[in-house]
Amino acid sequence: MVKKTATATSTLFILDNSLSMAVRDTEEGASRFQAGQQLLDLLLKSQEGDWVSLGTQNGDFEFLAPLTIDVPITRLMLNQIPFAYTGTNFLKSFQTLLKNFEEGHRPSQIVLVSDGEPIPSMTEEDRQKLMKILDDLDIPLYTIGVGSLEGGMIPDVDKKSIPDFKLLEEMAESGKGNFYRIGDTGLIDLSETIQSNFIGKKTEGSLERVVRRLSPYFYLLAALLLLFALRLNPR
């Protein structure tokens, strides 16, 4: 078991930037990578004032933004992530993460956006080792699958990519978190659902959500009524 350290609430956001994420098989016609960027940007925006960090996952894990409360800079870095022309080595990535956590800061929760497609050489033994690492980490892991069930062709590569959502579900279960999929609902609704499970976050009820979304229109209506009243009663 990895030893826990007392830290403020923080979230590590990870975006899979492997080659298969270039496939354009989302409902909006965007690539898996672009859809993942859009969702993580919404989630980061909601973390203003909180501690966040950002990393990528492909052949290995790499930190792009260390622990910070500078969310705008982290969002900027998110939108500048390049593609890595490799497959996704989930086991090696989380072995690297485990080493990082043993040497320094442990986040309160991890959010991973990926199509779940592992490198072809991943064995059942590798899969079990990965699940044990996630269980030992004792950090809630929220996995977010992206891509269609049928899959699609990788641009400029004569190879079809089919997401492995089952792997992502197993990872979330071992990580004591939840699995979500981009496309099951709109990005805004999905980001709010994920946020409601974050440690230290207050769950927003349906009525609160409706009121918050409609409040700008209420202000506009009030301004129009005021202008109308002034026209009827000029001084």
Express each pLDDT in 96-127 by its tens digit: 999 988 877 789 999 999 999 999 999 999 99
Please say if the pLDDT value at position 233 is more than 50. Answer: yes
Give this prediction's pTM.
Answer: 0.81
Say how far apart CA 196 and CA 4 lie, in whole Å: 24
Q: What is the percentage of the chain residues whose pLDDT exceeds 90?
A: 61
Average pLDDT, the chain: 85
Please say if the pLDDT value at position 4 is more than 70. Answer: no
Helix (H) / strand (E) element for 207: namely helix 206-232
SS3 194: helix
Please say if the pLDDT value at position 231 is more than 70. Answer: no
DSSP labels for 95-116?
HHHHHHHHHS---SEEEEEE--
Question: What pLDDT, on a 0 to 100 scale, did the predictor assign at position 158?
Answer: 83
Q: pLDDT tens for residues 155-206?
A: 988 899 999 999 999 999 999 999 999 988 889 999 999 998 887 654 444 4
Of 6-20, 135-149, 187-201, 213-227, least confident by mean pLDDT is: 213-227
Question: What pLDDT, on a 0 to 100 scale, did the predictor assign at position 213?
Answer: 47
**Under CATH, domain 10-204 is a member of which superfamily?**
von Willebrand factor, type A domain (3.40.50.410)
- Structure token digits, residue 148: 């269609």
Q: With bands split at pLDDT 50, 70 and 90, how would you rate the model's confidence at 207?
A: very low
Domain boundaries, the chain: 10-204, 206-235
- Give the distance between the most distant pair of CA atoms in the chain: 82
